[in-house]
Amino acid sequence: MLDLIRRMRPDVTHLEEQQHGSGRVRHLLVTGGDGVARPCVLRRAPRRELALYESVLAPGATGAPALLGALALGAADEAWLLLEALPERFPDFGDPVQVAACYCHLAAIHTHGRAAPPEGPWAIAAHEIRETLEALPDVAHLAARAAEQLTGEPTLVHGDYHRWNLLLVDGQIRVLDWEHASFAPPIWDLVLLAPEEPGWDGAPRGALATHALQTYHEAGPYARLPWDPFLHRQTLARLFVAARWHLTHRARAAALPSGGFRDQIAAYAESELDRVRQLKGRL
């Protein structure tokens, strides 16, 4: 492993594995030429994540860990990333102050990301949104509207913005795991916020979900869009995500042999279809 690290950072003189990790993530103590041992994380990641670190993921603007070294893996579409290690202190999504801080930070990421997106087919395409919704008769009439409102004006979106990817470090919000990041309308980072549902423990729930949306709306790129149209757009995005999950798991269940696992996947697909119908009723 020392040889791998030295290909990224020739000044490294010593390293120690702090805890046993998976094949894709390792926690290391790396000593450089200055003799200082620094905690680092070695991650195997998609090549496009490396492209983002090299172009737009400035720690001061996005809260991403600092990139300390990188190595592309030949013909594979992957790379090794050597990142600064950050102390694990997750925000409390039962605290309105911390919720507001996290979603103000998300607004800042989206504002920063609007400046200079790198080239590449990052955004969710309008035809994907249309084809997904047209595949479900209950919501086919919403396909054109969703394709229009959920595309255009792309910015940097994290793609998996929830509590377990956020850290509080010295009073600042830091953001981990950018492997699902893309350039798309910022509404896609808000699809986990569901004020009217029990929600997921990785996102604010109930009134705190509304608080997160209001905080983001006031500080982010949708500030000029009135509140009701903003909520309408967020609901359309949630509808598309639920429809895509339904179709994905329906196809997966159909390809499996009969049995308990197939039944579980089919039940999940039906639960997502129920969510599609619930969201349709709010549009």
Give the tens place of pLDDT for each residue, 138-189.
999 999 999 999 988 888 899 999 999 999 999 999 999 998 888 888 999 9
Whether 2-84 shares its CATH topology with 96-280 is answered no
**Is 70 exceeded by the pLDDT of residue 30?**
yes
CATH no. of 96-280: 3.90.1200.10
Question: Cα(273)–Cα(283) distance, rounded to whole angstroms?
Answer: 16
Which pLDDT does position 73 carry in this prediction? 80
239 in helix, strand or coil? helix
Q: Which amino acid is at 21?
A: G
Task: Determine which helix (DSSP H) or strand (DSSP E) holds 78, and give its type and residue range.
Answer: strand 78-84
Q: How far is CA 15 from the centre of its chain?
A: 31
1 contacts 29 by C-beta, under 8 angstroms: no
Cα separation values, 268 from 19, 131, 185, 245, 252, Å:
36, 21, 27, 9, 11
**Closest of 257, 252, 282 to residue 270, by C-alpha:** 252
Supply the pLDDT for residue 141.
97
- Measuring CA to CA, which residue among 93, 259, 72 is closest to residue 165? 93
Task: Determine the Cα angle at 163 with ends 160 and 166, to 5°.
Answer: 80
CA distances from 37 to 15, 31, 71, 132, 176 (A): 8, 4, 21, 50, 22
Per-domain residue ranges of the chain? 2-84, 96-280
Residue 251, number of CB atoms within 10 A of its CB = 11
In CATH terms, 2-84 corresponds, of 3.50.70, 1.10.287, 3.30.200, 2.60.40, to 3.30.200
8 Å CB contact between 106 and 119: no
Whether 119 shows a pLDDT value over 80: the answer reads no
Distance CA 52, CA 44 (A): 14
DSSP secondary structure of 107-161: HHHHHHHTS-PPSSS-SPPHHHHHHHHHTSTTTGGGHHHHHHHTSSS-EEE-S--
- Band (115; pLDDT cuts 50, 70, 90): low
The region of weakest confidence among 22-36, 116-130, 206-220, 243-257 is 116-130
- Provide the residue type at 281 as one letter: G
Give the dihedral of Cα atoms 122, 127, 132, 133; nearest 10 deg.
Answer: 120
Average of per-residue pLDDT across 194-218: 90
Q: Is the pTM of this model over 0.85?
A: yes
Pairing of strands 78-84, 37-46: antiparallel
SS3 176: coil
Helix (H, G, I), strand (E, B) or coil at 49: helix
Q: Which helix (H) or strand (E) holds 267?
A: helix 260-280
Average pLDDT over residues 78-87: 91
